[in-house]
Amino acid sequence: MKNTTNLGLSTRCIHAGDSLDGRGGIFTPLYSHSTFGFTDTKSLLDVVEGRVEGSLYTRYGLNPTIQSVERKLAAIENGEVAWVFSSGMAAESATFLAHCKTGDHIICIGDVYGGTYELLDANLPNLGILTTFLLGNEIDKLSASIKSNTRMIFFETPTNPNMEVLDIAKIANAAKKHGVLTVVDNTFATSVNQQPLALGADMVIHSTTKYLGGHSDLTGGVVIGPSKLLAPIWDWRKNLGQIMAPEVAYLLARSLRTLVIRVNAHNEAAQYLAERLVKHPRISKVNYPGLTNFNGHNLAEQQMSGFGGMISFVINGNAEEAAAVVDRLKLFSIAPSLGGVESLITQPITTTHYNLTREERTKRGIVDGMLRISVGLEDIDDLWIDLKQALK
Ligand SMILES: *Cc1c(COP(=O)(O)O)cnc(C)c1O
């Protein structure tokens, strides 16, 4: 295996975790095998008892294709180890379950993915794990919200759909003072634009379904961090049976090799569109961290190296008029999800935030006229022409 320590991010995306496959193949092949054989009992025990890093059984994650993409992901996020999962939600749930038990407490800051909210708000309370939800502008209440049973602070940044930027270093610092773990969902920003571990977070989670996969053709998740914190998560993944399929791990490794150029292109295209949307007479507000007059811009400049491919904006008009804009688009597909090469649009009130009450939405600034786009990698002029005709 090539040593990629201290090498650039693109180099790590391409080479980390891969080795010649023994027949000269220049990256790790797909081992679809569910199980792996041994020539004698001693070699089996060496793997089972952890003396030798080897392959054993795919559900455990002891499969060369899975281990290879995990090494690549750890290198990309500058973490010690990475565990991959069948989905982003699987990665999150295993992380919560491994680090919180009955009677423990979690603090969730700002808007989070709908599934995450449901898990924290509806599922984990059944196990006696309760979550306090703070708005993104309530960070001053954080220290007071930390109780003796608080185990974890969880948040995304930028958030969905307001693109609110939360201060990773500040939150991690406050958490550390109380011996509480900071876990950041880095799905929106990606490892290219933001490195939460370097800013003090303990663990980072991605839905690899989004930018890391990048082609809307795989579902997966990953948690990255120090081996001490990830060891208990390994057990939960194994026994809940949440492993990423080797076929998906192979596809993900393929996608990661182009991560940097893809994300840079998403950044550039989103900046271009955001700057034009801001000037459009039918639009009252554009949320994009790359806009100099956006609320979180200065913080984003400090903690991010690019501003991402997600934009939300508010049109002057009601829910029906916003839906009509969506329906007139020809290139943007109406679809949840994000981070693929094709541009997508959603109206948060009909998809990601459908289940919230009007009151809850108002509190979170999610209005009827709001639209969210995931800017793809089509020719930027084609995207702008499509948006302009839809906004007429
Ligand atoms: C999609 C998403 C998730 C959930 O990931 P799945 O792969 O769909 O399970 C979690 N967090 C964020 C920010 C997401 O966008």
Q: Is 187 in the pocket of ligand 1 (CB under 6 A)?
A: yes
∠ CA(192), CA(216), CA(122), 5° rounding?
Answer: 85
Atom of ligand 1 minimally distant from the CA of 209: 7
Residue 87, pLDDT > 80, answer yes
Residue 362's pLDDT band (cuts 50, 70, 90) = confident
Rounded to 10 deg, the angle between the 88-99 and 227-240 helix axes is: 110
Is the Cβ–Cβ distance between 110 and 157 less than 8 Å? yes
Residue 306, pLDDT > 80, answer yes
113 catalytic, yes or no?
Answer: yes
- Residue 263 CA to ligand 1 center (angstroms) comes to 17
Name the more confident of 22 and 111: 111
Residue 352, pLDDT > 80, answer no
- Residue 286 CA to ligand 1 center (angstroms) comes to 23
Phi, psi of 146 (to 5 degrees): -75, 125
Is the Cβ–Cβ distance between 278 and 286 less than 8 Å? yes
Give how far Cα 125 sits from Cα of 94, 101, 105, 120, 216, Å.
15, 11, 10, 7, 32
Q: For ligand 1, atom 6, name the residue with the nearest CA.
A: 88
How high is the pLDDT of residue 13? 98
Residues in the chain: 392
- Residue 389 CA to ligand 1 center (angstroms) comes to 31
Of the candidates 12, 111, 113, 211, the residue annotated as catalytic is 113
Q: Is 89 in the pocket of ligand 1 (CB under 6 A)?
A: yes
Residue 264, pLDDT > 80, answer yes
The predicted model scores a pTM of 0.97
Q: For ligand 1, atom 4, name the residue with the nearest CA.
A: 88
Q: What is the pLDDT of the chain when averaged over all its residues? A: 96
How high is the pLDDT of residue 50? 87
How high is the pLDDT of residue 354? 81
Q: Is 242 in the pocket of ligand 1 (CB under 6 A)?
A: no
21 catalytic, yes or no?
Answer: no
Residue 292: CB atoms within 10 A of its CB come to 8
Cα dihedral 134/336/304/278 (nearest 10): -100
Residue 313, pLDDT > 90, answer yes
Strands 310-315 and 370-374 come out as: antiparallel
How high is the pLDDT of residue 361? 86
Residue 269, pLDDT > 80, answer yes
d(CA 134, CA 170): 15
Residue 82, pLDDT > 80, answer yes
How high is the pLDDT of residue 20? 82
Residue 22, pLDDT > 90, answer no
